[in-house]
Amino acid sequence: MFLADVIDNALGNSFQEIDEHIKCQYKTISCDELFQAYMKFCECLKNRLGSDEHFSGFSESLLFRVMYHKIATERGITFEKVPYKNAPERFRKAVFSAHKIDLELAQNRHIPLPAIGKRAFCVPDISLCVSGELIGALEVKTYPAFGQMTIAKLFDDYSKKVRRQFARAAVLLIIYHKPPVAVREPVLITKLTEYTATSKGWFSYIFLEGSEEPFDAVLNNFLCKINI
């Protein structure tokens, strides 16, 4: 057996088991449980490989599969992988299409913004498009890196660029780790609360760490905003 076969068997079985658990339990998985799952993934990598660097994409994929199974199960639809032609082969990510409701669900999809410029585009961590229109985006951060600076740019990009092209687009910012206590209240939380109020509904956020709220409830609120 070649090394590639060993990796395929080991990781394939592991990810299949994770996905089956999400499919069966997504309604009861809490926000903190998702946080703990990601931390355990990082711990396993550190213990076995010495580092978890460059594996942060798992944080997005974990939430993507929750969204995938929730929509498929509750809407009674089947997602089908479709070609994604807006990137070279090595950079292509799967786009899942539900023809029944003309919905496309994807990770890191390049979405053109012709209203901004010929070469302008946005790349949401997780996107939902209906009839080619971006209606929902999940932006995922493992740490609130650089605090309000990073999040201010994200909010600015969506409010001044993305929503100029897609006026219906709603954004849910998901942050795995809580910010350090020193900056939690006076800076980051205050800014996030301000952005939420300023957006008049299209922007919302949640910290997964320490929250016992079912993540399904968070998604319910978000999907209600975009009528999915």
pLDDT grade for 148, boundaries at 50, 70 and 90: low
In CATH terms, the fold of domain 3-225 is Restriction Endonuclease (3.40.91)
- Section 34-56 average pLDDT: 83
Per-residue pLDDT averaged across 166-183, rounded?
87
Per-residue CA distances from 76 to 26, 29, 106, 132 (Å): 15, 21, 18, 21
Top mean-pLDDT range of 4-18, 72-86, 192-206: 192-206
Structure tokens belonging to residue 78: 């089947």
In this predicted structure, the answer to whether residue 228 has a pLDDT above a threshold of 90 is: no
Is the pLDDT confidence value at 204 over 60? yes
Helix (H) or strand (E) holding 150: helix 148-157
Could you give the C-alpha distances from 79 to 34, 67, 76, 99, in angstroms and in order?
A: 23, 12, 10, 8
Q: How many CB atoms lie within 10 A of CB 138?
A: 21
pLDDT at 186: 62
pLDDT in the model for residue 80: 83
